[in-house]
Amino acid sequence: MMLGNESLVIGAALLLAGVHGCHQILRPLAPMRASAGGALLFAACIVCLVLGIVQGRFVYPIHGLSLTRPEDAELLASVYFGGYHLVALVFAAATICWASAMLSTADWRTLGYAGIVVAAGSVVSSYPDLIGPAPVFVLEAALALWWVGVGWKLRRQLGEIHPDKRV
């Protein structure tokens, strides 16, 4: 659980830099959709950081306090899973915004169509209690791979804009 907690916090923080870079590329193509997607992702990152704090209470005791009463653990678990549901839905909305912005240009069109499919999967994965852990893993891995593809394309595109700087 410790590795998952650290990954959640570090991943959310690193995603913020990618949000800014992708917004800079997509803003000229579709300003409203790029801004909406960036704002939604920024909000999702903040919620992920808060969820890292909530999940951390299961892993790390603070000031000698630990979860000893079942009611405390139940409350934290419900906040965590409710937050996970929210983050998955916000990621889906942000992915739709950015994917539709990507459809405005041929360079990004493939990632745009893939983003729409991945966003639908993100909505489905926001109900882990209904679909089970294996489908959630596959759908979340697809979302992560889409973000890797966006980052790779972003890196290449920024390299074309600023060829003298290493990105």
Is the predicted pLDDT of residue 141 greater than 90, yes or no? yes
> How much is the average pLDDT of 18-30?
79
CA distance 41 to 20: 10
- Model pLDDT for residues 88-110, shown as the tens digit of each residue: 999 899 999 989 988 888 888 99
Q: Is residue 81 part of a domain?
A: yes
Q: Output the pLDDT for position 90.
A: 92
Does the residue 166 lie in any domain? no
Range(s) of the domain holding residue 134: 2-161
What's the rounded Cα separation, in Å, for the pair 48 and 41? 10
Supply the pLDDT for residue 119: 96
In a domain, 116, yes or no: yes
The average pLDDT across 31-57 equals 86
- The span from the CA of 34 to the CA of 14, in Å, is 19
CA distance 161 to 158: 5
What is the average per-residue pLDDT within 11-30?
80
- pTM for the full predicted model: 0.80
Q: How many domains does the chain have?
A: 1
Q: What does the pLDDT read at residue 163?
A: 60
Asked whether residue 167 is domain-assigned, the answer is no
75 in a domain, yes or no? yes
Exposure b/e, 57-78, CB count within 10 A at least 16 = b: bbeeeeeeeeeeeeeeeeebee
Q: Is 62 left (phi over 0), alpha (psi -120 to 50) or beta?
A: beta
Residue 77 lies in a domain: yes
Instruction: Give the pLDDT score at 162.
Output: 60
- Does residue 101 sit within a domain? yes
Whether 139 shows a pLDDT value over 90: the answer reads yes
Q: Is residue 151 part of a domain?
A: yes
Which pLDDT band, with edges at 50, 70 and 90, does 159 fall under?
low
Q: What's the average model confidence in pLDDT over 113-120?
A: 96
pLDDT, position 107: 84
Do 12 and 48 form a contact (C-beta atoms < 8 A)? yes
The secondary element (H helix, E strand) that includes residue 16 is: helix 2-26
pLDDT in tens, 55-86: 877 777 777 777 777 887 888 888 888 888 99
